[in-house]
Amino acid sequence: MPDRVMLTIGTKKGVFVAEGRKARRTFELRGPFGPGVPVYSTLVDTRGTPTMYASSCNPFFGMKVLKSTNMGKSFKETKSAPAFPKDDGRALINIWSIEPGNARKELWAGVEPASLFKSYDGGDSWEMVPGISNHEHARKWNPGNGGLCMHTIIRDGKRVHLGISTGGHYMSEDGGETFAPANKGVGAGFQPDPYPEFGQCVHKIVRHDAVPGRLYMQNHGGWASWTGPGGPRPDIGVLRSDDYGQSWRSIAKGLPSDFGFPILVHPDDPDTIYVMPLEPATRTCPGGAPAVWRSENGGDRWSRLTKGLPKKQSYFTILRDAMTIDTLKSPALYFGTTTGQLWMGRDGGEAFECLFDALPPIHNVKVAVV
Amino acid sequence: MLSCALTVVDAAAAVTVFLPEPLRSYCSGIAELPLTARDVRDLLTRIELTQPALYPNVCDETGAVRRHLNIFVNADNVRDLDGLQTVLTDGDVVAIIPAVSGG
């Protein structure tokens, strides 16, 4: 019977692991592992014996993949990390996502510059997936402020969704052999054409297993008052698709800002979603008052969740993978800030408490009940 | 082909590569790696051939020396010499040193 809540916390200075019982009253913190090195992606792989993975993006010595088979008591480097073929001309800058694949030891990794890699042996060897990595658009994508990153990998049988900043949303219907852009209704604010075929700055995409055709997207919003070529483009930041990602519509009405990075879906209710609106200019919580916003009807209406959070003078930034939700009966929401605080919101965000107050800047938070 | 190979060996200098602490675990824990090479580029090629776990820490997939690493031949940064074409001579110490950066 799963009774432990395991959090992996990727930070600017390594990966931490926090372990708590189901009641989530206290968490024991371990780490940092890969100390001093930025970690942008982690995974708690619950297939078989739980295994933790973390990307360790060493600015001096290159990429590593760290692996723990003892619940985060220690980590070891895998035998290799994703790397482009020698004649490709690109060099890996970062690993932005690690997700489980089909087979027990299969992993998928989204990297910067935006490309996809697979491992079939738990991260010891990797191969590039050419269908997207060598896509005809790949050399036309442009990096945003965070780099040209493939941050979202969603697998649904033969269907695969990828989120790329700034490349947009790409879909495969053949298990990842071939990909096509699927960005109808996804706006871009940083170019004259507000609705290009590809090149959008998608921040995160999520979906619920029970309703695979519905997806939610946090896109790069904040362009309501744009007066340059192409004119203003309000509400392009928070979107929903009901046709497996082929087309998208705004669900941003009612939010204080359509800019943000993470988006979550409740583990038991595909209609309940969460975002963390930020001021587009500063990437911080509006008015210095942090709030998670929740919709319980798929984005038609939004409510503000603030109980336990600071009321003022708290200019949090929450990055795209720094918010998650566990799968217990009354799930808790977790988010980490770039100022090093890890918050937990009980009962789906009804009441927040700070679990850790002074970690290094947090890039990534993942949770599993094991 | 054979004569070319012999020429390469004849011209190579015996040098010592100094490795910083974080790289030693990729090289059986040693701090000093003896190698023979004609110039710095040739030295990197020999590291790739003889120390496959160490090499990706020094050069990326394109063969470029990683951005935050400096290579010194004795007291001089190769950037101030002839770059990767810097010719090596017997007894040179080639140090791979991370740049001072971060925060």
**DSSP per residue over A189-224, as a string?**
SSSS-SS-SS-B-EEEEEEETTEEEEEEEEE----T
Q: Do A60 and B22 touch (CB under 8 A)?
A: yes
Per-residue pLDDT, A229: 86
CATH number of the CATH domain containing B63: 3.10.20.30
CB contacts < 8 A (A, B)? 40
Q: Could you tell me whether strands B13-18 and B93-98 are parallel, antiparallel, or unpaired per DSSP bridges?
A: parallel
B22 touches chain A (CB under 8 A): yes
Each domain of chain A, given as residue ranges in start order, spans 4-369
Write out the residue range of the structural domain in which residue B20 sits. Answer: 2-98
3-state SS assignment for residue A37: coil
Residues A264-315 have pLDDT tens digits of 999 999 999 999 999 999 999 999 999 999 999 999 999 999 999 999 999 9
CATH class of A4-369: mainly beta
Which pair of tokens denotes residue B26? Answer: 């990729």
Mutate which of B61, B65, B96 to test chain A, going by most A C-beta atoms within 10 A? B61
Residues A222-259 have pLDDT tens digits of 999 888 888 899 999 999 999 999 999 999 999 999 99
Partners of B69 on chain A (C-beta within 8 Å) are 60-61
Per-residue pLDDT, A188: 94
Q: Do A86 and B61 touch (CB under 8 A)?
A: yes
Per-residue pLDDT band at A147 (split at 50, 70, 90): confident
Looking at residues B4-29, what average pLDDT do you find?
81
Closest chain A residue by Cα to residue B67: A60
* B85 domain-assigned: yes
* B56 domain-assigned: yes
Q: Select from A65, A111, A110, A113 the least CA-distant residue to A89.
A: A113
Q: Do B61 and A60 touch (CB under 8 A)?
A: no
* B103 domain-assigned: no
Looking at the structure of chain B, the number of domains it has is 1
